Amino acid sequence: MTNLLLAAESGGHAANQVVETTSGAIGLAYLVPLVPLVGFALVLLLGRRLRERSAFLATGMAAVSFLLSVAILFQVIGDPAAHVRPLFTWIGAGDLQITYDLYIDQLTAVMLLVVTGVGTLVHVYSYGYMYGDERFERFFAYLNLFLFSMLVLVLGANFLTLFLGWELVGLSSYLLIGFWFEKREYAAAAKKAFITNRVGDVSFMVAMFVIFNLFGSLAFTDVLPEAGSVLSGGQATLIALLLMGGAAAKSAQIPLYVWLPDAMAGPTPVSALIHAATMVTAGVYLMVRASSFLVLSLEAMTIVAWTGALTALLAAVIAIRQDDIKKILAYSTVSQLGYMFIGVGTGGFSEGIFHLVTHAFFKGLLFLAAGSVMHAMANRTDIWKMGGLRKVMPITFWTSLVAWLAISAIPPFSGFFSKDQILTAAYENGFTAVWALGIFVAVLTAFYMSRWFFLTFLGEPRWTAGEPIADDHGGGGSHVPGDDPTGDAPSSQDAHVTHLHPHESPASMTVPLVVLGVLSLLGGALNLTHHGPFYSWLEPVVASTEEVGFAEHGALTEPMLIVISVVAGLLGIGLAYLAYVRRSLRGVHPEVVRGPIAELAERKFYVDELYQAIFVRFGRRVADGMVWFDRTVVDGLVNGVGSLSTSTARVTRRSQTGFARGYLASMAVGAIVLIAVLLIQVR
């Protein structure tokens, strides 16, 4: 920490120098992704023989990556610069020359630590959570594959290598969402995630075409420092918005957020690691990496900021009326990603990354805690059937408490600092309306997260020990103690019946909770004041916003903004307390938030239904029409012209000799033409 402080102070305000580095930890940086890749291959090939030991292998690989990442951090602290670790060529075709070079600067170092740190914790947690699953070793193979992919994403030194990781995390996500593929909804959720992300990928790919067209390269070192001198305003807007299109899919922004709530079909550790802490933040990483484009276009920044603000609002409203312990967190993730986009769009690049980091801690923790609760409740997910778990699972309770206060932005918990700084940046750069919306969403956030927390842990139990319940949540059921892990439990159509005996989770699960709890509590220390050490640390990476031309900001001072933030969080918690703790929840319909908007929120504003109607039903009709067109018009026309159908029918009817006759005939025609032409020409 002190090192980091010192480095930040001496870092100055200038942009990074680019240096080629092949020594020290950075020289070995290729091992960071490679080690988990080897883990993936080994577990995949030897998994059947390794069984439980696959978990140790995979976790060991993750831990090695983490240690290497720490070493890299220290090297970057000692030598703050944009280090390029040259490697060999990936694609070299004409002008297009793409290498596997790695790019390591202050931002990369942060991302590496988050990815490998949270990644390793989730590996440890998964040992307990997935124990007894029939595809236990496969799960760890996929986790290692994910780590590899995500590390390629953050280490790539050009847009295409970033895209390589970008797509491979998509594959890992597909595999892990559909991990219990026997359930149709889960398989559908996996496909939906992949396809939705592909839509964003088109945008990302076109962005690369444009960048290559204008810069003749996709390497960060060629493109980013030159953006200001090469691009016109319109070109910068175009590139920024195309990149935004890709980021909006990966980071679940309007209109492409729809895959993320469904992605909760994956095992809960996956939701924590991929769909909360790391992969979904890749879009934020991309936008910050490409901040040089953004600062050239106030239009693009405004669109990014408003996309984030509206996404944050929409997801928060929906979250208020969700009852599934994971779905609430999923919408909350969408909403928090919206905050990060507000940061990016309003020029708070470092603030966005800071929130990315604290969010990785507290949201990772919230998901792992939810997993711990599901573990205890035989995979029950309805928070209305929980309550009173405070006494049964104290570690899960206390760590969840920390995470809840962090996401509700109550000081001194980490989420307060990062969220407040994003909103401050928005306000100070003249985005007053975005700021106000952000404050409103902060109230909602505190409200729905308190609802989540209160209904799960506080009050009287709304369950009875020993009650038989249908375990309908995939293969997770097979690890519930007393349950027979063999047999085909995960695939069974008919829900698996278990008896409810809530209990605290094993140490492999609670230790990661505690570690993340500490980080969620203390993470704010990275940047206690707005322009603190974390801000300075990233300053050489992100583009200066001095020349964007932001509007003048309002009259509120920073202390006043902080007070408003705190009041917003407390207000949300207070309202939820009145609604869900003070009131008896034993009634027929205990939900307090009612009315037409609440009903709409519960139905998620029918967005899925709308997309279904437009893209699936209408799309299918178009496709059916094209199939008809192909068979009758295209095929029919060509057949008709050659009167193929009749001759074919005749040939078919006649006999086997059809071939010989047809062939001889055409050969004869060919020969006659040949001879005729030769005779004419030779003469």
Of residues 164-223, which lie at the interface with other proteins (CB under 8 A)?
164, 166-168, 171, 174, 178, 181-184, 187-188, 190-191, 194-195, 198-199, 201-202, 205-206, 208-210, 212-217, 219, 221-222
CB of 325 to other proteins, least distance (A): 25
Measured from the CB atom, the residue of 43 and 446 that comes closer to other proteins is 43
Evaluate whether 268 touches 129 at the Cβ level (below 8 Å).
yes
**Which residue(s) pair with 19 in the sheet?**
83
Tokens 């918990």 correspond to 413
Q: Does 608 bind other proteins (CB under 8 A)?
A: no
Instruction: Report, in Å, the least distance between residue 633 CB and other proteins.
Output: 9
Answer for which of 66, 131, 139, 163 binds other proteins (CB under 8 A) is 163
Pairing verdict, β 102-104 and 89-93: unpaired
Residue whose CB is less far from other proteins, 99 or 527: 99
Q: Which of 99, 108, 396, 429 binds other proteins (CB under 8 A)?
A: 99
Which residues inside 557-576 make contact with other proteins, applying CB under 8 A?
none
Q: How far is the CB of 190 from other proteins (least distance, A)?
A: 8
DSSP three-state, residue 246: helix
Return the structure tokens found at 107: 């931002």
CB closer to other proteins, 8 vs 189: 189
Residue 95 tokens read as 């002008």
Query: How many CB atoms are located within 10 Å of the residue 280 CB?
Result: 27
CB of 162 to other proteins, least distance (A): 10
C-beta of residue 440 within 8 angstroms of C-beta of residue 399 = no
- Which residues, in sequence order, are CB contacts of 8 under 8 Å at separation 6+? 533, 534, 536, 537
Site string for other proteins, 223-252 (x = CB under 8 A): ---x---x----------------------
The two structure tokens encoding residue 282: 């890749």
- Half-sphere exposure (Cβ direction) of 553: Cα atoms closer than 13 Å: 18
Q: CB of residue 248 vs other proteins: minimum separation in angstroms? A: 15
Q: How far apart are CA 615 and CA 609, in angstroms?
A: 10
The answer to whether residues 81 and 110 touch, using CB atoms and an 8 Å cutoff, is no
CB of 15 to other proteins, least distance (A): 16
Which residues within the stretch 323-352 sit at the binding site for other proteins (CB under 8 A)? none
Q: Which of 19, 45, 96, 613 binds other proteins (CB under 8 A)?
A: 96
**61 CB-side CA count, 13 A:** 27
CB of 273 to other proteins, least distance (A): 20
Q: How far is the CB of 562 from other proteins (least distance, A)?
A: 44
Complex with other proteins: residue 484 or 630, whichever CB lies closer: 630
Cα–Cα distances in angstroms (integers) from residue 109 to residues 33, 82, 148, 230, 476, in the given order: 14, 11, 16, 29, 34
Minimum separation from the CB atom of position 257 to other proteins (A): 17
CB of residue 193 vs other proteins: minimum separation in angstroms?
10
Nearer Cβ to other proteins, position 384 or 659? 659
Which parts of 126-145 interact with other proteins (CB under 8 A)? none
Q: Which residue, 74 or 90, has its beta carbon nearer to other proteins?
A: 90
Cβ(298)–Cβ(550) below 8 Å: yes
Other CB atoms within a 10 A radius of the CB of residue 149 amount to: 26
Q: Which residues of 335-367 are buried (b: 16+ CB within 10 A; e: fewer)?
A: bbbbbbbbbbbbbbbbbbbbbbbbbbbbbbbbb
Number of residues that bind other proteins (CB under 8 A): 85
Rounded Cα–Cα distance for residues 61 and 69 (Å):
12
Burial zone of 544 (CB within 10 Å; 0-12 exposed, 13-18 middle, 19+ buried): middle
Q: How far apart are CA 142 and CA 125, in angstroms?
A: 15
Quick one: 134 or 558, whose CB is closer to other proteins? 134
Q: Are strands 82-85 and 102-104 parallel, antiparallel or unpaired?
A: antiparallel
Question: Contacts with other proteins in 615-674 (CB under 8 A)?
Answer: 620, 622-624, 626-627, 630, 634-635, 637-639, 642, 644, 647-649, 651-652, 658-659, 662-663, 666, 669-670, 673-674
**Among candidate residues 48, 36, 53, the one with its CA nearest the CA of residue 142:** 36
Q: Closest CB to other proteins among 192 and 355? A: 192
**How near is the Cβ of 204 to other proteins at its closest, in Å?**
10
Q: Say if residues 58 and 141 touch (Cβ distance below 8 Å).
A: yes
Maximal CA-CA distance, the chain = 108
Q: Show the site string, 430-449: x = touches other proteins by CB under 8 A, - = not.
A: --------------------
Residues forming a β-bridge with 93? 96
In the range 142-161, which residues lie near other proteins by CB under 8 A?
158, 160
Please report, for residues 165, 300, 349, 437, the alpha-carbon distance to residue 343 in angstroms, rounded to integers and kept in the order given: 24, 13, 6, 13
Residues forming beta bridges with residue 82, ordered by sequence position: 18
Which one of 96-104, 378-386, 542-550, 560-568 is the stretch in contact with other proteins (CB under 8 A)? 96-104
Q: Which stretch binds other proteins (CB under 8 A): 65-73, 93-101, 442-450, 527-535?
A: 93-101
- For other proteins, the closer of residues 83 and 451 by Cβ is 83
Contacts to other proteins from residues 472-531, by CB under 8 A: 491, 493
Query: CB 13 → other proteins: shortest distance, Å?
Result: 25
* Tokens coding 47: 């998994």
Residues of span 356-375 touching other proteins by CB under 8 A = none
User: Minimum Å distance from CB 48 to other proteins?
Assistant: 10
Rounded least distance, CB 242 to other proteins, Å: 10
Residues in the chain: 683
